[in-house]
Amino acid sequence: MCRQRPVLGLRLTLPAVLWIFCRATALHGALPTNQKCDEALASPLPHTAFTSSSVFTGGYAPGYAKLNRRGGAGGWSPLDSDHYQWLQVDLGTRKQVAALATQGRYSSSDWTTRYRLLYSDTGRNWKPYHQDGNIWAFSGNSNSESSVRHDLQQGIVARFLRLVPLDWSEEGRIGLRIEVYGCSYWADVINFDGQGVISYRFKVKKMKILKDVIALKFKTSESEGVILHGEGQQGDYITLELRRGKLQLQINLGSNQYGSILGHTSVTTGSLLDDHHWHAVVIERYRRNVNFTLDRHTQHFRTNGEFDHLDLDYELSFGGMPYSGKPAGGGRKNFKGCMESINYNGDNITDLARRKKLDTSSFRNLSFSCVETHTFPVFFNATSFLQLPGRANHNAVSVGFQFRTWNPDGLLLFSNLDHGTLEIALEDGKVAVHVNLTQARNMRVDVASGSGLNDGQWHAVRLVARENFAMLTVDGDEASAVRSTSPLAIATGGTYHLGGYFLQTLFPPSQHSFQGCMQAILLDDQLADLHEVERGMVGAFENVSLDMCAILDRCMPNHCEHGGRCRQKWDSFSCTCDGTGYTGATCHTSIYEQSCEAYKHLGRSSDTYWVDPDGSGPLGPFKVNCNMTEDKVWTTVVNNLPVQTTVTGSSRERRTVLQVNYSASMEQVTAITTSAEHCQQHISYTCRMSRLLNTPDGTPYTWWVGRASEKHFYWGGSGPGIQKCACGIDGNCTDPKYDCNCDADRKQWAEDSGHLVYKDHLPVSQVAVGDTNRPGSEAKLTVGPLRCQGDDNYWNAASFTTPSSYLHFSTFQGETSADISFYFKTSAPYGVFLENLGNTDFIRLELKSPTVVSFSFDVGNGPVELTVHSATPLNDDQWHRVIAERNVKEAVLQLDLTYREARPAPPQGHTRLELFSQLYVGKPASLTCQDSAAGGQRGFLGCIRALRMNGATLDLEERAKVTPGVKPGCQGHCTSYGLYCRNGGKCVEKYNGYTCDCTATAYDGPFCTKEVGGFFEAGTLVRYNFLHEMAAASRDARVLAAAPPAPRELNLTGEEVAFSFSTSNAPAVLLYVSAKSQDYLAVVLRQNGTLQVRYNLGGLTEPFTIDVDQRNLANGHPHSINMSRANRSLTIQLDHYPPVSYTLPAASDTQFNLVKTLFLGKVYETGPVDPVLIEQYNTPGFVGCLSRVQFNGVAPLKSALRIPGPPEAGPAVPVSYQGKLVESNCGASPLTIPPMSAATDPWHLDSDAGFPFNEERVIPDGVNRNSAIIGGIIAVVIFTILCTLVFLIRYMFRHKGTYHTHEAKGAEPADESADAAIIGSDANPETIDESKKEWFI
């Protein structure tokens, strides 16, 4: 099946294309010339080429097992139908096998429903066919006549094939006819004995190589060995070698002697490569780009350093390293095993060696045939055991074997002695020996050795135990052998169980089974003959596989993404994601949000956050500063260039290049700028006799480099293609002949600065300065942080207006790992969000009912559906978030971060999602699906936003612009996000989001949660006139214009009052509301600091007073008060104590008549006013802080602070203040809810930043408050001392009548003082001292 993938880039030059074509031709030289490898290989074979484990009768012989043949009994059937039967085919020579087909036995009830394929070159050491990371089980037949064919996903090369039936007909027995499809295969083979090395001499002494193609196949039973090596005198080298059964490529294209360029690069791939089976390697290098392929798994990487050529001297060696090889490392073994089809840049090395064109003198006996090993492995599963005989009644035990496994625990060997038991087990990765004896008294001897032996490598165990002595050796290391001299008297029992023991015994083993492989089994100094065991002549076994080690490395290839650590056992693997920033079964999903915009809409405030713009994509998370303003969200990425960095000694011929490094990589920063609505970066050049750009058409002295490594010749405040500075654009440069201030080349300091706003060029990565080498010339450069606003990806939306409307995109590529996330809102009860189809595979997300979201897919194992049920309807026209993920471990569906369902993947089966159709968004991918689905699938009606698939955002808006029935964007964000607007703030719709309007509240901030407060000095008052009749203000008063319109409530039957205050002075008037009548409302602090509320609504001879609390509230701490009156009912809440209810007397009126003016801090009223209040509380006035003052929807204090206006504003403005009023947050009320702790807050950052940046750094909340308190105390003490010194100095230097200074004569005028301060210092040191004194005073 051919699948098309999107083209990621087409930047290949013609030479590169020709090189790739030549490479592809060379690599396939050993393969058949015909394109179709589909010949019938089994049918032409003689009967003798077919063998089997057993035969039912003569007519059922294996030679009759040919597809569509009716000879004999019509096929092969074994004597017994069990799991130990097999049918084997000898193809005569090694063949390329591409497909298999099976039938049942002709006209019978005998067929095979499931089978396994083994293959081998020699008929020994079988290897099971692998697919999708598992030992593959093929589906067989359901009757005796139909043929079932399977094309191998990964073609194999082998001479012998063995089919092992796993399941068969319930009506009959095992029956089988087969055909093998493929073609011929030929390759030159060389056997390496571990001593010989093939030297490929270059035609010239030194080779400077820009591109390489190296291809070969190898097989070995050794875990160490150098496969190829080349080196140069300049330090370049390339080495391919086996290390612990893994393949390691080391390459160095060049380092320098200073160590600033380090070219060494090392990449490791593969595992368990010492299995004595063929493995194919291809290394493709073009400059620093390398493709490293092992058995069709390719790693793409780029070499370290800055050089492109591989400089080699003399030769390239295969099979080992020449003397004094580099990199230095003693003890490297030569390769021992077989290689075939060795190609180097088009030369067939094996053919040249056969024709004696290469130096092979180091070989003792060069052989062009592969020498096979004589090992006989045994494969155990959890229900297996192998029983072998030993010597009985012998007074010593001597056993040994090799094993390999991934499990930390398992039973290796168990034997019942004449008087006790012997157990060798794997316990937590160590080999442990337990001997239990019962002769004279119960005695136990325990010995353990080794560690980490569950690493998949072969490990050798040797145990010798005799009278009063036991020694355990692991991996032949005599130095670390463990000995025991405990009293022992052993008499062997004559029988050994390996890999499992399930019988009853007096001392049962600590482990009962083993999953892994064993070989080289030695019992009582006799090597076990496993060939005899296979023929049933010796011993017994259950559920073991002989002459095969079916170990799998489930961590290779590593399915743990983003640096997750893979851990495995025999039949499963798991990923550890700690410290990666990702989560999930395969560390696929980012734990961070994509942008500051996303954090804002989670209700977060300004702080430093980790962001991950591409989610599950290759970019890692990184820190940014998020500034949540009222209507915008700014993302700041800081850099490490100090402010006003001095640049000297540069010229046009030799410019000084300043590198600007950021707290994120250039790829990460690019992701921010690409999705942002607007970006800007401030850049400043302060100069003295240092030219910047000079002329618009001349060569610039200075330029900067942007993100695409392109030079730019415009400066801050200008734009691309315009070689000017900001002053040149505005026409106000110092010298009108030039377009930059610095280009005037003056001796005085000047500056050219401004914002760079063309985001495709940002950020600034380098600045090259070219005019600071003349005498007296100097420049200072400042590159500010990158600041970006908005996130287009987060708000990228489309509205589907008809059931048949949809958007289509290219095929979704998520073969082994896929994640999909989006927001939706709808009023429809159901609809398909998206769907993508393959031949049988598919993936679909849909709203199945008003409360159910479904995620369904098929990767070849049958359809799987996950559903989540919401407790509330989802068609409520509010935004809901859907996250779906599928990988080789599990599938997960999440709704609104609340409802979740997970489904583990089957332990065996297909894992690759293969799709070919276009991705359809908003409807099913085909009408067929729509018609056949139960109840019928229908298109989606509503909005979809922020659709991300494997970290990439689909541009719904752009596609919607050209698609009928679909509109770009989506309105109605306030239905979902309006709840974030607190304290009475109103949600205002925007095209790409919403904003909170805090105008009518006493709060500010993006969510109307920041209290607005002011500090009152003695005599300061704020007046708010409800009737818009303003008294004439005194000359000290400021009248503020353009305040928000206030409600004209002249007569009130209820009030809502809320504010916070802090003060240390009493008495004071906090709030006073007057009227044209005698009515009023007052909140005051009495002389003792207690709080009193006074109501006078008429009908009473004295005002109704409430003493709210008996505590002294003039204690400098913040306090809050909330009052609510409805007719006679009055409720007051102080701080966070429970509200208290009061009732106005029956004689009191309930209407507040002719409300006129509200005062804060002091009363200045010309109309009726309570004389007691004026006499006792109004002087000298409130001193302290008031905040979040609100009265019936009016915020008088905020109006006074937030809306500046000229003093001569018109008479119709409602608010004014008198005296000095300074905005302050000191009146903020205490928190009612404690903030989330750093331990439980996944977004909170530690206070220690990991990068030494010093511009616009946001300090997290987690600073050391003890340090702040101590610092504050020290500051107060220092301030007191300085004040004392000031008064003393003033007394010493006071003069009557005039003010004396000692400025130097000829000082610059005041308007040039700044320049004078920079350009030079005064010539008179005495004058400087005196000036400093006066300045300090």
DSSP state of 758: -
Contacts of 118 (CB under 8 A, 6+ apart): 86, 126, 127, 128, 129, 161, 162, 163, 164, 548
pLDDT in tens, 1304-1320: 333 333 333 333 333 33
The more confidently predicted of residues 1165 and 1141 is 1141
pLDDT in tens, 1180-1206: 889 999 999 999 888 999 988 876 654
pLDDT in tens, 100-117: 999 999 999 999 999 999
**Considering the chain, what is the average pLDDT of its residues?**
83
Q: What is the pLDDT of residue 696?
A: 61
Pick from 569, 606, 605, 567: nearest CA to 586 = 567
* C-alpha to C-alpha distances, 227 to 194, 196, 235, 339, 745, nearest whole angstrom: 11, 11, 20, 9, 65
Q: What is the pLDDT of residue 154?
A: 84
Q: What is the pLDDT of residue 652?
A: 84
Q: How would DSSP label each residue in 757-788?
A: --GGGPSP-EEEE----STT-EEEEEEEEEEE
Pick from 1082, 1028, 1062, 1086: nearest CA to 1215 = 1028
H/E element holding 1231?
A: none
Helix (H, G, I), strand (E, B) or coil at 1322: coil
Q: What is the pLDDT of residue 784?
A: 94
Structure tokens at 522: 């030695």
Type of residue at 262? L
Residue 1228 confidence class, pLDDT cut points 50, 70, 90:
low
How much is the average pLDDT of 189-198?
90
Kindly report which listed range (443-457, 543-557, 1321-1335) carries the lowest average pLDDT score: 1321-1335
Q: What is the pLDDT of residue 1008?
A: 86
How much is the average pLDDT of 811-836?
92
Beta bridge partners of 1160: 1022, 1071
Q: What is the pLDDT of residue 1082?
A: 93
Residue 1252 confidence class, pLDDT cut points 50, 70, 90:
very low
Q: What is the pLDDT of residue 169?
A: 94
- Distance, in Å, from the CA atom of 518 to the CA atom of 405, rounded to the nearest integer, reads 9
The whole-model pTM stands at 0.70
Type of residue at 1163? V
Tell me which residue has tokens 């007719």.
Answer: 1127
pLDDT in tens, 463-473: 998 888 889 99
Exposed, middle or buried, 434 (CB in 10 Å: 0-12/13-18/19+)?
Answer: buried
- Distance, in Å, from the CA atom of 140 to the CA atom of 150, rounded to the nearest integer, reads 9
pLDDT at 5 over 70: no
pLDDT in tens, 66-92: 999 999 999 999 999 998 899 999 999
pLDDT at 1255 over 50: no
How much is the average pLDDT of 990-1007?
80
Tell me which residue has tokens 């004040």.
Answer: 1283
- Distance, in Å, from the CA atom of 267 to the CA atom of 265, rounded to the nearest integer, reads 7
Strands 890-895, 899-904: pairing kind: antiparallel
- Distance, in Å, from the CA atom of 240 to the CA atom of 270, rounded to the nearest integer, reads 13
Kindly report which listed range (10-19, 345-354, 683-692, 1139-1148) carries the lowest average pLDDT score: 10-19
H/E element holding 524?
A: none
Q: What is the pLDDT of residue 1202?
A: 75
pLDDT at 1044 over 60: no
Q: Name the phi and psi angles at 10, rounded to 5.
A: -130, 75
Q: What is the pLDDT of residue 39?
A: 94
Q: What is the pLDDT of residue 259?
A: 56
- Distance, in Å, from the CA atom of 724 to the CA atom of 695, rounded to the nearest integer, reads 8
Question: 1203 with 1041: CB under 8 angstroms?
Answer: yes
Structure tokens at 187: 């390759």
Strands 347-348, 469-474: pairing kind: unpaired
How much is the average pLDDT of 1119-1140?
92
Q: What is the pLDDT of residue 1288?
A: 65
pLDDT in tens, 768-822: 998 898 998 999 999 999 999 989 999 899 999 888 899 999 999 988 899 999 9
Kindly report which listed range (54-58, 136-140, 1096-1100) carries the lowest average pLDDT score: 1096-1100
DSSP state of 15: H
- Distance, in Å, from the CA atom of 983 to the CA atom of 1002, rounded to the nearest integer, reads 8
- Distance, in Å, from the CA atom of 1120 to the CA atom of 1109, rounded to the nearest integer, reads 12
Question: 230 with 316: CB under 8 angstroms?
Answer: yes
Structure tokens at 639: 């850099």
pLDDT in tens, 631-641: 789 999 999 99
Q: What is the pLDDT of residue 17?
A: 35
Structure tokens at 1335: 């300045």
- Distance, in Å, from the CA atom of 17 to the CA atom of 432, rounded to the nearest integer, reads 59
Q: What percent of the chain has pLDDT over 90?
A: 53
Pick from 97, 124, 120, 236: nearest CA to 179 = 97
- Distance, in Å, from the CA atom of 1107 to the CA atom of 1120, rounded to the nearest integer, reads 15
pLDDT in tens, 720-768: 988 899 999 999 999 988 889 999 999 999 999 999 999 999 999 999 9
How much is the average pLDDT of 610-614?
93
pLDDT in tens, 201-246: 888 777 888 899 999 999 999 999 999 999 888 888 999 999 999 9
H/E element holding 531?
A: helix 530-534
pLDDT in tens, 164-185: 999 999 999 999 999 999 999 9
pLDDT in tens, 231-284: 888 888 999 999 999 999 999 998 765 555 688 999 999 999 999 999 999 999
Q: How would DSSP label each residue in 220-259?
A: -S-S-EEEEEEE-TTS-EEEEEEETTEEEEEEES---TTS
Kindly report which listed range (187-196, 502-511, 694-703, 827-836) carries the lowest average pLDDT score: 694-703
